[in-house]
């Protein structure tokens, strides 16, 4: 199940936020500026994160992500499934160039079951370069390039069918 979700995530097709047909309710979710983990907590008792894969990969294992990141040889990859009250709500993939992994950012390699957002959004040095909606079949996603102390990382998220986002779209 988690492997299927992460394969779908890698196949997302990217759209512009100005693309016609994206309803305000949808954009309200996709363009959320704050932590998605915190937003999910408003819809359930407990958010939990299951790490699926964590480790270094080589540049040749990147998809079109390569164009969005610096030319490092290695990247820290973290793939997770996030659950809201034990239902799978989101597949997440984070790529961190090795050159980002110094100073406090070393923590990105040590998250385990702690949601990434709790770390990112408590950092005073966080900024966002862009956010892009994506779609695959009937599922929505997004990707964003963030910076911690000016050092980039790329987050891709796929909203799974049980996610509360889809309740707002009916």
Contacting residues toward ligand VNL, per CB under 6 A: 36-37, 49, 78, 80, 82, 90, 92, 94, 111, 115-117, 155, 157
**Neighbour count for residue 128 (Cβ, 10 Å):** 11
Contact by Cβ (8 Å): 117, 144: no
Contact by Cβ (8 Å): 142, 133: yes
Contact by Cβ (8 Å): 95, 64: no
**Degrees, nearest 5: CA angle 101-64-133:** 90
Q: Closest approach of Cβ 13 to ligand VNL, in Å?
A: 18
Q: Closest approach of Cβ 35 to ligand VNL, in Å?
A: 8
Give CA–CA dist 27/75, Å, rounded. Answer: 30
Give CA–CA dist 128/66, Å, rounded. Answer: 18
21 or 33: CB nearest ligand VNL:
33
37 or 100: CB nearest ligand VNL:
37
13 or 21: CB nearest ligand VNL:
13
18 or 34: CB nearest ligand VNL:
34
Q: Closest approach of Cβ 80 to ligand VNL, in Å?
A: 4
Q: Closest approach of Cβ 97 to ligand VNL, in Å?
A: 15
């Amino acid at each position: 199940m988690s492997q299927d979700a992460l394969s779908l995530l890698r196949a997302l097709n990217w759209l512009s936020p100005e693309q016609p047909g994206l309803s305000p309710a949808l954009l309200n979710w996709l363009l959320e500026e704050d932590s998605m983990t915190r937003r999910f907590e408003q819809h359930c008792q407990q958010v939990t994160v299951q790490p699926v894969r964590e480790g270094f990969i080589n540049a040749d294992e990147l998809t079109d992500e390569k164009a969005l990141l610096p030319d490092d040889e290695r990247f820290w990859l973290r793939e997770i499934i996030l659950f809201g009250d034990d239902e799978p709500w989101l597949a997440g993939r984070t790529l961190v160039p090795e050159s980002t992994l110094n100073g406090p950012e070393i923590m990105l390699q040590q998250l385990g079951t702690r949601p990434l957002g709790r770390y990112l959004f408590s950092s005073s040095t966080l900024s966002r370069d862009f956010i892009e909606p994506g779609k695959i079949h009937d599922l929505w996603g997004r990707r964003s390039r963030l910076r911690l102390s000016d050092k980039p990382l790329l987050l891709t998220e796929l909203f799974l069918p049980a996610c509360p986002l889809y309740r707002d779209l009916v």
